[in-house]
Amino acid sequence: MVSSDPSYHTVPTMAKSSTHFHRSKTSIFLSDGCLFLGGAFSALLIVGVFFSFTTPIPSNIPNLGSVTTKFTAAPAAACETSSSGPDLRLDPPDRTFYDDPEMGYTMEKKVHNWDKKREEWLKHHPSFAAGAKERIMTVTGSQPKPCKNPIGDHLLLRFFKNKVDYCRLHGYDIYYNNALLHPKMFGYWAKYPVVKAAMLAHPEAEWIYWVDSDALFTDMDFKLPLERYKDHNLVVHGWPRLIHEKRSWTGLNAGVFLIRNCQWSLDFMDVWASMGPQTPNYEKWGKTLRSTFKDKFFPESDDQTGLAYLIAIEKDKWADKIYLESEYFFEGYWEEIVTTFENVSKKYDEVEREVRELRRKHAEKVSERYGELREKFVRGGDEVVGRLKRPFITHFTGCQPCSGDHNHMYSADACWNGMLRALNFADNQVLRPHGYMHPDLGDNGVTPIPSDYPPP
């Protein structure tokens, strides 16, 4: 249940009945994933070269020099318009918190007046001010060593590619860490030094979005409803009743969370991390958490139960700023999801048949426009009954893709084949603007998308 690998994911899984039916389909080794990517990348280069010539060449032009003049003018105009974004070269000599010799990134180093320090930094870097309140920095990571599972490193690569794809589509920055920043904060505690360091290194970001290495985006259109969280500083997938009334450690999942880059969050993480293995009270916290949450069956103090404790027991101090999201799959339990992909895809095909505009071919850069349009027709279908909407995040809790030491509640085939299906389901949404798709989610092979897709 609890892995000794210093990996960056939440090891404890959401408690489920051991009577789940598991398919015995043979595991599929994901060794050919890079073949089609190379072809797609080559195709992109050809298309990019073709469209870089913004002025068509008439067949009867006698003077090639005039054509050259026209071609060189267009890039200059493009460069002028591109200067409206953040200025990555400007760092004024004005003193900021970075110049303070007492400033430090470690968990032991307390940070004070962070909100004011961030505000001052943004004043000195005004090009980052536009959109600052909605700027998201995605953070993820994995263990420093190679995986024990023979296909583990390949799986982690595909999980990371999925996150890069999602962030590219929505203009988010992403940071991947595979260093153990605190030698004693291992396993599921390893992510908190990474999150704190990311906060201090990215004062331009309002939100830090941690996503475990074994979680992937399976709705590439959906964007976090930040307006819903405007009065909160931490968002996790959870259910208040399970935490406050049932006292269940599975009342939330700490493998995916959105945390505001502010002083409250730094203070909260200090308290949260004080339950970790780097402290002398680690064993004591393990006993306290187990006695408070009776369904917790392992003795170690873990971050998920620790968060549930702070919400339930210290609710007057913290709970008002923590949002327990249950209206959509902020992160969804994989075993409930992976068998629904075909039905979900059929629903989306039906929508595209009715809304012809959604069938229009378009550049990947403008995919958000079509995602917003599609969302109007599928919104509200993300309930347990119906499964009409793509799950936002599918989380393979307990499958341990790197170590291979999966929870014995599941078979290895169920984990590996479920991952393959989820990865290809998500990848189909990325490949679509590039003209390809995986016709079979259980196979990495791709085919060109027919011009009349989806067929009438």
* pLDDT score of 455: 84
C-alpha neighbours within 13 Å on the C-beta side of residue 55: 14
Q: Are 243 and 251 in contact (CB under 8 A)?
A: yes
- The identity of residue 66, as a single letter, is S
Same domain, 269 and 157: yes
User: Would you state the pLDDT for residue 380?
Assistant: 55
> Which residue shows structure tokens 């079509």?
370
pLDDT at 10: 43
β-pair type (322-325, 136-141) = unpaired
Tell me what pLDDT residue 83 has: 54
Residue of 1, 18, 111 lying closest to 414 (CA atoms): 18
Name 17's Cβ contacts closer than 8 Å, sequence gap at least 6: none
**222 and 352 housed in the same domain:** no
Looking at the fold, whether 365 and 407 belong to one and the same domain comes out as yes
Helix, strand, coil abundance in the chain, percent, nearest 5 = 45, 10, 45
Tokens (6 digits) for 294: 């009776």
* Residues in the chain, pLDDT under 50: 1-7, 9-82, 381-386
- Residue 456 lies inside a defined structural domain of this protein: no
Phi, psi for residue 258 in degrees, rounded to 5: -115, 120
**Is 66 within the bounds of a domain?**
no
Are residues 307 and 364 both part of a single domain?
Answer: no
- What pLDDT, on a 0 to 100 scale, did the predictor assign at position 342? 93
Distance CA 181, CA 106 (A): 8
Answer whether residue 160 is part of any domain: yes
313 shares its domain with 435:
no
307 and 365, same domain (yes or no): no
Considering the domain boundaries, does residue 206 fall inside one? yes
Amino acid at 101: P
Q: Supply the range of the domain harboring residue 415.
A: 335-378+386-448
Distances (CA, A) of 188 to 89, 197, 256, 289, 293: 36, 16, 12, 16, 18
β-pair partners for 211? 256
The pTM for the full model equals 0.81
Same domain, 233 and 262: yes
Q: What is the DSSP letter of 220?
A: S
* Residue 122: predicted pLDDT: 96
**How many domains does the chain divide into?**
2
DSSP state of 25: P
Question: What is the per-residue DSSP string for 285-322?
Answer: HHHHHHHHSTT--S-S--HHHHHHHHHHTSHHHHGGGE
CATH number of the domain to which 125 belongs: 3.90.550
Residue 235 lies inside a defined structural domain of this protein: yes
Q: Could you tell me if residue 187 is inside a domain?
A: yes
The reply to whether 238 and 357 lie within a common domain is no
HSE on the CB side for 230, CA within 13 Å?
3
Q: How far apart are CA 309 and CA 358, in angstroms?
A: 46
Judgement on whether residues 118 and 175 belong to the same structural domain of the protein: yes
Amino acid at 183: P
321 and 342 belong to one structural domain: no
- Is 198 found in the same domain as 323? yes
Instruction: Assess contact for 392 and 219: CB atoms under 8 A.
Output: yes
Please indicate, yes or no, whether residues 290 and 155 belong to a single structural domain of this protein. Answer: yes
Omega into 454 within 30° of 0, i.e. cis? yes
The answer to whether residue 10 sits within a structural domain is no
* Residues forming beta bridges with residue 210, ordered by sequence position: 139, 257
